[in-house]
Amino acid sequence: MSRPNRPSLLRRPERIEALTRDLGEVREQLWSLNHDISETEAMLTGLIGDLRDYGPQDLAALLAETQRLRLAGNFLAVAPDHSIDGSVVVADRLSIIIVTYGTGEVLEECLAAIATHTGAELGGRVGDYEVIVVDNPPDGPGVRTAERLRDRDDLRLIEAEHNLGFAGANNLGVAQCTGALVCFMNPDVVVGPRWLTPLLAALDDPDVAVSAPVLINRDGSHQEAGQQLFSDGSTAPLAIENADRADYASAALWVVRRADHLEAGGFDQRYHPAYCEDVDYCLRARARGGRVAVVPDVAVVHVRGGGGAGGDVALAQRSQTYLKARWAVDLAGRRGPEG
């Protein structure tokens, strides 16, 4: 029996091209599926580890917290040109958002520096600015930072009912702010003269998603000019001469466009309450074609740990585990910290 004549694929280049496109789509779908599976595995591993220490009352509280965080995600369901209460967003206004959590007196120093040095830069790229403090309550006994701020008329105070963490509180601040430009500032940052204009100028480049300064210690010694990210999810600070190689910059002080922040989905609240949100944010910005610009002409003091959150090693490791699972493909292409 003779075989029927079938046109050879080699004589049909358009068919080969179509098959190549199909294979490419399948490859992307498989990558996305593997990404989701890795992300789910990391979350389940962390959850199982946590559940071992929980009793019935703790589990009930956990379920309530999960529902609260889900609702908190609606903070970013707002239009780019309006705040969550319907106020119009002003094109030449800067909204400085500061998140507090049992923050000490360094906050007063932070606010004083803003008042001293920001006004002199108005009239150029920005016409005015607002300061919004989002105060997270302590998880246990303690005094809220908000108690020291309720009588101040130089800021807008938002008192979160629950601890929204770094990501949730900043996202809430963005939802309520009225500036088209947003500055995320830690309460342990102290700005100096001409801190703002160069950071705003960096955003003239449409590819820049995040503009950040050099961070220094109180004694003037170098802290970081952005950070390099390694294959194991760890990072290392960069010297000023290598600022253009930054994979991300610590979110002690960032300037971003409000519309970009909303479009990107804001800070990922799955890192609640803290750690690695800034790394994840910059990786997502890069995946969307953006980049981080560390501006070497601007240096601000960053008092490490002065914001009140402290340094929880176990919490940092948990967030890093989630980061590694979520960005496994990206991290696999990077070199290790050993060089």
The interaxial angle of helices 165-176 and 56-72, nearest 10 deg, is: 30
Dump pLDDT digits (tens) for 216-246.
999 999 999 999 999 999 999 999 999 999 9
Highest mean predicted confidence (pLDDT) among 2-16, 36-50, 69-83, 276-290:
276-290
Q: How confident is the model at residue 249 (pLDDT cuts 50, 70, 90)?
A: very high
Give residue 70's pLDDT. Answer: 45
Cα 20 from chain centre: 37
Measured between alpha carbons, how far is 160 from 168 in angstroms, rounded to an integer?
10
* 24 Cα distance to chain centroid: 31
- Give the closest residue to 258 by CA, choosing from 130, 114, 110, 121: 130
**Averaged over 170-195, what is the pLDDT?**
96
pLDDT at 159 over 70: yes
* The pLDDT of residue 327: 92
List of residues 6+ apart from 81 with CB closer than 8 A: 88, 89
pTM: 0.78
Q: Residue 253 pLDDT more than 60?
A: yes
Q: Alpha-carbon dihedral of residues 247, 250, 253, 258, nearest 10 degrees? A: 60
Residue 113's pLDDT is what?
Answer: 97
CB atoms closer than 10 angstroms to residue 247: 20
Cα 125 off chain centre by: 24
Q: Is the pLDDT of residue 40 over 80?
A: no
**Is residue 200 a contact partner of residue 211, using CB atoms and an 8 Å limit?**
yes
pLDDT of residue 67: 47
What is the mean pLDDT of the segment spanning 175-180?
Answer: 96
CA 136 to chain centre: 17
- For the ranges 14-18, 99-103, 140-144, 205-209, which has the lowest average pLDDT? 14-18
User: How confident is the model at residue 1, as a pLDDT?
Assistant: 52
Query: What's phi and psi for 63, nearest 5 deg?
Result: -65, -40
The full set of domains in the chain, from first to last, is 67-332 (3.90.550.10)
For residues 72 and 134, what is the distance between their CA atoms, to the nearest angstrom? Answer: 14
The pLDDT tens digits for 48-103 are 555 555 555 655 555 554 444 444 445 666 778 888 888 899 999 999 999 999 99
% pLDDT > 70, the chain? 75
pLDDT confidence band for 312 (50 / 70 / 90): confident
The string of pLDDT tens digits covering residues 206-220 is 999 999 999 999 999
